[in-house]
């Protein structure tokens, strides 16, 4: 009888241990995937921030090479911006900075205000990821 009880108890603990390990693994994978998604969004925004330069890209007949390259940055930049609400939904500060930036670009605020709001948004995203944000001086240098 004691042997049977020991086998049953051992089996129950084995099953519980396996279930617990699966749960822990699932949560770790989910957290890792969320972090990867956040890094991808941040990378797309930082890497394509030249989309907000003040060159006029509406005249497609006489686009200089620089203007044409800036136009290429727009789609991935704005696509990544659209992902912020989903990807950073667990951080109210990032969402608040995103809303301020979104309001500024849709209400056509001046360029320096928009750039400052973009910097604050990106800085909050870096902080969410426990990464060091670039300095303002370094951030505003765009390589085309």
* pLDDT higher than threshold 50 for residue 55: no
- What is the DSSP-derived secondary structure letter of residue 57? -
| Average pLDDT of span 50-70 | 63
Give CA–CA dist 77/94, Å, rounded: 17
Range scoring the smallest mean pLDDT among 61-75, 81-95, 110-124:
61-75
The reported pTM is 0.71
Going by C-beta distance under 8 Å and a sequence separation of 6 or more, which residues neighbour residue 128?
Answer: 38, 88, 91, 93, 94
Cα(124)–Cα(35) distance, integer angstroms: 14
Q: What is the mean pLDDT of residues 99-118?
A: 87
Domain-wise residue ranges, the chain: 40-144
Output the 3-class SS for 65-114.
HHHHHHHHHHHHHHHHHHHHHHHCCCCHHHHHHHHHHHHHHHCCCCHHHH
pLDDT at 124 over 90: yes
């Amino acid at each position: 009888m004691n042997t049977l009880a020991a086998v049953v108890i051992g089996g129950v603990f084995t099953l519980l241990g396996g279930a617990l390990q699966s749960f822990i693994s699932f949560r770790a994978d989910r957290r890792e995937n969320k972090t990867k998604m956040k890094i991808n969004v941040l990378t797309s925004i930082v890497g394509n921030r030249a989309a907000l330069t003040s060159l006029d890209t509406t005249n497609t007949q006489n686009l200089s090479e620089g203007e044409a390259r800036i136009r290429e940055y727009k789609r991935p930049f704005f696509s990544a911006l659209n992902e912020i609400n989903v990807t950073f939904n667990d951080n109210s500060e990032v969402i608040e900075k995103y809303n301020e930036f979104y309001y500024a670009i849709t209400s056509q605020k001046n360029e320096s205000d928009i750039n400052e709001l973009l910097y604050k948004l990106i800085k909050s995203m870096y902080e969410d990821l426990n990464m060091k944000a670039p300095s303002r001086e370094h951030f505003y240098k765009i390589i085309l």
